[in-house]
Amino acid sequence: MVIRVRVAEPERTNGKRAPGETKSDAGVRAVLLPAFLHKEVRQHLAWFAEKEPDGLVFVGEKGAPFRRTSFGRKWRRARVAAGLPDGFRFYDLRHTGHTLSTRSGATLKDTMVRAGQSSEKAALIYQHSDEERQRDLAAGLDDLVRAERAKHHKGKEHGSVHHNEKPTGS
C-alpha cells in the first residue's frame, strides 16, 4: 500500500487552512506502508476519509478538515486507548517512525526520503537511540568479532593464512 503526498494544507494560528506546496521538493513523495498497517488504513479510508482520489485522509465529524482543537481531543482519547504516556504528542509519532525505520535497517537517506526531508540535519533530529538499541548494537558487534575470531582460530588449526598475514616459522 502506498500513500502519495503531493500537497500540504496546514492550519494557521488563525484557524484558516493554507493549501499549497510542501515545504520542499522532498516533501512530495510516495510512502510505502508496512503490511501490518494495511487493514487498519483501508478501514480508516473507507470509514473516515474523503472518497475522491485527492480527498483528505483525516476529516472531522461534519466532513470538514480537522481543526487543531477537535483533533487534540481525538488524539487524547486515542493516546489513552493505546496506553501511551500523557506527554506523548501526535507529532512524536514522527520521531517514532524515524527511529523504527533506522532500527529496521534504513539508511539516513532512506529515512529522509520516507519522511520527505531535504536535509540530513532535519532527519537526524527525528532519529533517537536508546539503551535497548545500544544493547542490540553491542550484541551485533560481539557476534561479528566472535565470528571473525572463530574463522581466524580455525584457519590457524589448518595451517592457513588469514587476511594479509604472512606465515611465521620455517
- Residue 155's pLDDT band, with cuts at 50, 70 and 90, is low
Q: Which residue has the cell 521538493?
A: 25
pLDDT score of 45: 92
Burial of 98 (0-12, 13-18, 19+ CB in 10 A): buried
The gap from C-alpha 80 to its chain's centroid, in whole angstroms, comes to: 22
The gap from C-alpha 156 to its chain's centroid, in whole angstroms, comes to: 45
Q: Per residue in 30-41, pLDDT tens?
A: 888 999 999 999
Q: Per residue in 112-154, pLDDT tens?
A: 888 888 888 888 888 887 888 888 888 989 999 999 999 888 7
- Assess contact for 102 and 132: CB atoms under 8 A: no
Q: pTM for this structure?
A: 0.68
